[in-house]
Every structure is written in structure tokens, then in C-alpha cells.
Amino acid sequence: MTDFTPKPEHKFTFGLWTVGSIGRDPFGDPVRDKKSPAELVNLLGEVGAYGVNFHDNDLIPIDATPAEAEAIKKDFRKALDDTGLKVPMATTNLFGDPVFKDGAFTSNDPKVRAYARQKTLKAIDLGVEFGAKTYVFWGGREGTETDSSKNAVDAIKWNREAMNFFCEYALDKKYDLRFALEAKPNEPRGDIYNSTTGHMLGFIATLDHPEMVGVNPEVAHEHMAGLDFMHGVAQAWEAGKLFHIDLNDQYPGRYDQDLRFASRDIKAAFYLVKFLEDVGYDNPRHFDAHAYRTEDYEGVKDFARGCMRSYLMLKEKAAQFNADKEIQAILAENIADDPAMQKFLGKYSPEKADALKAQAFDRKAIANRGLKYERLDQLTIDLLLGNR
Ligand code: GCO
Ligand code: MN
Ligand code: MN
């Protein structure tokens, strides 16, 4: 049997908030005791993760005194040294405190917008202090329940000004840092601005320093909207913007589930892993998910190990797909080049347009050919179910 042990080169990371989730939900109280950041780092070390990410307040509570903050950082640093875990990414909590009830950078209240900037500047410093090279922006409260309340164009502009401000700050401080924007359609707001990875890519192109800013797409966020996650990831990759990725799982049309990676839609997870491996994605593979509320901390470890193991099993399946002669033969037949068509394809020229208009196409003959996708998909299913 193949070895599915996580290794540093896989860059598997978890947020403190993921394995640290105490299982509170809108209907029920916590089911697990809170663990300190240092304890969570040790837990992640035990299961073989490469790194740990945090929101400012996962590490340092919002009302901690400077002395308390120093003590927490010292313990956290020691746990990182003991386990060898890295901190590849950090982010800001701009959604938990009641001050952000109507958003942060897109709040109608200038005091809130200014406070959100202050909190983010400090959180960026904290992330850099622990070596983070990617800084994520997830605008969880940047949205509305009623569109009577806000001007959507103002919101876009305020968001852009904030991102431009942080890019200048990182340049000014000479931080080796890139920003990754994470889209989500809803939850906790009724509707969130820049709701998909595609919206984010459009937004990034309007920034002053677009080269510093990419995306952090999350499986669950696109599945919630009923979208094909891998297609969004491919678009981000092709644009040179896939700086980070949040892996989990989610049934469409449900509340935000944050399920263990590949536990719901194995086929979608397979195409995603195959895509990432085929293109040579080399940034962190971050699991932004939670253990079921039924679990104790042994179950949390099962959850974390399961995320990594499923990724590695799917990676092996992807290699098998690429090596499968029958699968590859169907693909080769379908994408085969036709030298006679070369003169019509590629870049525009007036001659090409004239030649195209004069060409006779046998539409019916072209359409009559079966593409063997049923066979191809069944071969994929056979492969995933272990029968090839
Ligand atoms: C969510 C989001 C968050 C973000 C995190 C990092 O649905 O709550 O996915 O977990 O990823 O805030 O920015
Ligand atoms: Mn999420
Ligand atoms: Mn996320």
C-alpha cells in the first residue's frame, strides 16, 4: 500500500480556529474545552501538519493586556520551535466583535472603517512577526441583510481604498508579504460583497498594486453557491493569482458546513486535487474545516489526519488517471489536432476572417460523432472506487 503520510513538501496547514473549534453552533453550546494556541500547535505537530495559521484574536484575545500578549506569544513560539511548525499565513478577525456588526472596511460608519484599518495593521505586524508570507482577507461581515442600508458602489470603493492602503503599508515596511482575498456568498451576512472568486479576480484588477494581491478560494464557499470550484481555481491559477487555498467540503444549498476535506463530494475533490497536482501548485494547502460536533480532541485529530490522508489518496488517484491508457486514449482522440483547421484558429487577421467566412463546414457530420464521455466518466468512477 502507498504511504499516505503527510510530509513538509505537501504544505498541509490548519488554522488555529479549525482544530481549535469548540463546537459552538447557533443552536448549541460548546462541546469541547478551549485549548491554548500552544496546545493546538502541539496537536497539529502530532498529526503531522506542516504549518498553522491564525487570526489576530485566535492568538491574542482582543482585550489582552500587553503582558498577557507577550506570555501567549512566548508559549506559542516555544510550541512552534518544539514541533517545527511554520506560520505561512495570518489574517484578521474583522467579524467576531460587535463593532463589526455592519462590516469593517465597508461599514457605513467611518469610525468602524478606521478601526478596522488599525486592527488590520496590527494584525499584519503580528503575522509578519511569526513569519507569515501570505495575508488573507476574508470579508465575512462586508455585506448586507437589507440593500436599503448601504450603497454597493461605496462599499466597493471603500474596500478598494482599504486594500490599496495595506499594499502601501506592506511596501513601506518592506514586508515580504502577499495578500489573498477570500470570497464567500453569504454567512454570516445575508449577502456578502465580492461573493465569488471570479468577483474577486475582477476587483483585484482595479487595485493600485494588483501584483501583490491574489485569491484564497475555498471549496465550501463556491459549493454553497452551487458553482464548480475547480473551474474558479483554474481561472485564478491561469491569472497567476492562486496564492493560497482553503480546502474543506460542503453540500450546496445548506448552512456553512466546513466539512472534512473530500468527505462529501469525492469526485469534485478528485478533480480539484488532480488540477492542483497537474499544474504544480506549490503554495500552502490549508484545511479550513471543523471536526463534527460529536467529537472530542481524539476525534479532532482523526478529522485533521483525514483531511490530509484524503488529499494524498486523491493525489495518487490523479497519477493513476494520468497513466491510464484507456482514459488517455479517449482524451487524445477528443483533443486531437486538425492541421486543416490551423489556418482558421489563433489570432485574428482580416485574411483569416475572409477565409473563415468562405469555408464550408459539414455541421451535421461534426455533430454526429459521439464523444465517449459516458465511458470516460465511468472509467473515472471505476478508478475512484478502486476497480482499475
Ligand atoms: C469562514 C471563512 C473563514 C476564513 C478565515 C480566514 O467561512 O468563516 O472561511 O474561516 O477563511 O477567516 O480569513
Ligand atoms: Mn469558510
Ligand atoms: Mn476560509
How far apart CA 30 and CA 22 sit, in angstroms, is 5
In the reported structure, the alpha carbon of residue 112 is separated from the centroid of ligand 1 by a whole-number distance in angstroms of 20
User: Which residue ranges form the domains of the chain, and what is each CATH number?
Assistant: 8-320 (3.20.20.150), 325-384 (no CATH)
Q: Per-residue pLDDT tens for 229-285? A: 999 999 999 999 999 999 999 999 999 999 999 999 999 999 999 999 999 999 999
Ligand nearest to the CA of 188: 1
Q: What single-letter amino acid sits at 167? A: C
Active-site residue, from 3, 25, 33, 55? 55
Q: What would the grid cell of residue 348 be?
A: 485574428
What is the Cα 233 distance to its own chain's centre? 9
CB-based burial label for 50 (10 Å; 0-12, 13-18, 19+): buried
How far apart CA 132 and CA 126 sit, in angstroms, is 9
How far apart CA 172 and CA 108 sit, in angstroms, is 28
> Whose Cα sits closest to atom 1 in ligand 1?
140
Ligand nearest to the CA of 18: 1
Q: Residue 158: name the closest of 86, 84, 105, 202 by CA.
A: 105
What is the Cα 319 distance to its own chain's centre? 23
The binding-site residues of ligand 1, defined as CB within 6 angstroms of any ligand atom, are 55, 91, 136, 138, 140, 182, 184, 218, 246, 256, 288
**pTM of the full predicted structure?**
0.97
Q: What single-letter amino acid sits at 342? A: Q
The reported pLDDT for the residue numbered 11 is: 98
CB 269 within 8 A of CB 228: no
**C-alpha separations of 53 from 90, 140, 163, 379 in Å:** 5, 17, 21, 38
Would you call 55 a catalytic residue per the annotation? yes
Active-site residue, from 56, 58, 258, 265? 58
Q: Which residue has the cell 467576531?
A: 96
Q: Which residue has the cell 470579508?
A: 139
Q: Which residue has the cell 472530542?
A: 296
The reported pLDDT for the residue numbered 2 is: 84
Q: Which residues in the chain land under pLDDT 50?
A: none
CB-based burial label for 333 (10 Å; 0-12, 13-18, 19+): exposed
In the reported structure, the alpha carbon of residue 286 is separated from the centroid of ligand 3 by a whole-number distance in angstroms of 9
The reported pLDDT for the residue numbered 152 is: 98
The reported pLDDT for the residue numbered 1 is: 62
Handedness of CA 314, 316, 321, 322 (dihedral sign): positive
Measured from the CA of 18, which atom of ligand 1 is nearest? 10
Would you call 58 a catalytic residue per the annotation? yes
The reported pLDDT for the residue numbered 214 is: 99
The reported pLDDT for the residue numbered 340 is: 94
The H-assigned helical ranges of the chain are 16-19, 37-47, 56-59, 66-83, 110-129, 152-172, 197-204, 219-224, 229-238, 266-279, 297-323, 325-335, 350-358, 363-368, 373-384
Q: What would the grid cell of residue 202 be?
A: 475582477
